[in-house]
């Protein structure tokens, strides 16, 4: 895509029943991720001001920010995917026929799908191992498997969005 779309503007390729559902879910997850980041900013600000004024900070604020940022960041990935706003280097392919470009885009979307599924697979096993070993954070004793599991829905939806685009590009008829 050569131009940036506004958040409320749905990409043309998403204007199908499945695409609209994926778009709405991805948008809601991105808004949730933004809300989580706002909470993390408030925690950090409160902790920083408290330390500077001598009241002390929030115990474990860094742990909360680390875990929360990982979860919130994973919730943005599906929206980036459904908006088709991932980094795309098409310098070598932009002069090829549109049909070949679509097939190459489908292949790239399939690769993104495979990576997302691999990440989900590995994060599930990692979460189970973290749960089995009862690993917790140092100051707040937050079970590490919890934020790890909370990242999985974002990656699952990212995989579905990239699979959607793979099908769209593979079946698109361009002259």
pLDDT digits (tens, 9 = 90+) for 25-37: 999 999 999 999 9
DSSP per-residue letters across 7-49: TTPPPGGG-SHHHHHHHHHHHHHHHHHHHHHHHHHHHHHHHHH
Q: How confident is the model at residue 1 (pLDDT cuts 50, 70, 90)?
A: very low
Residue closest to 9 by CA, chosen among 22, 21, 23: 23
pLDDT computed for residue 4 by the predictor:
60
Residues facing residue 136 across a β-bridge: 143
The residue ranges of every structural domain in the chain are: 17-171
Judge contact between 170 and 102, C-beta under 8 A.
yes
Integer Cα distance of 49 and 41 in angstroms: 12
Residue closest to 110 by CA, chosen among 154, 151, 168: 168
Task: Kindly report the pTM of this predicted structure.
Answer: 0.90
Judge contact between 127 and 155, C-beta under 8 A.
no
């Amino acid at each position: 895509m050569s131009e940036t779309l506004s958040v409320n503007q749905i990409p043309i390729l998403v204007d199908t029943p499945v695409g609209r559902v994926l778009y709405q879910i991805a948008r809601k997850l991105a808004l949730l991720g933004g809300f989580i980041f706002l909470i993390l900013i408030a925690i950090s600000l409160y902790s920083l001001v408290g330390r500077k004024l001598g009241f002390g900070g929030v115990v474990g604020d860094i742990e909360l920010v680390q875990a929360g940022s990982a979860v919130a960041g994973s919730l943005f990935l599906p929206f980036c995917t459904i908006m088709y706003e991932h980094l795309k280097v098409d310098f070598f392919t932009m002069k090829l026929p549109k049909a070949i470009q679509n097939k190459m885009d489908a292949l790239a979307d399939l690769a993104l799908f495979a990576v997302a599924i691999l990440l989900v697979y590995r994060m599930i096993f990692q979460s189970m191992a973290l749960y089995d070993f009862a690993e917790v954070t140092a100051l707040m004793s937050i079970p590490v498997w919890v934020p790890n599991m909370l990242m999985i829905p974002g990656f699952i939806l990212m995989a579905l969005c990239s699979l959607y685009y793979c099908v769209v590009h593979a079946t698109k008829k361009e002259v």
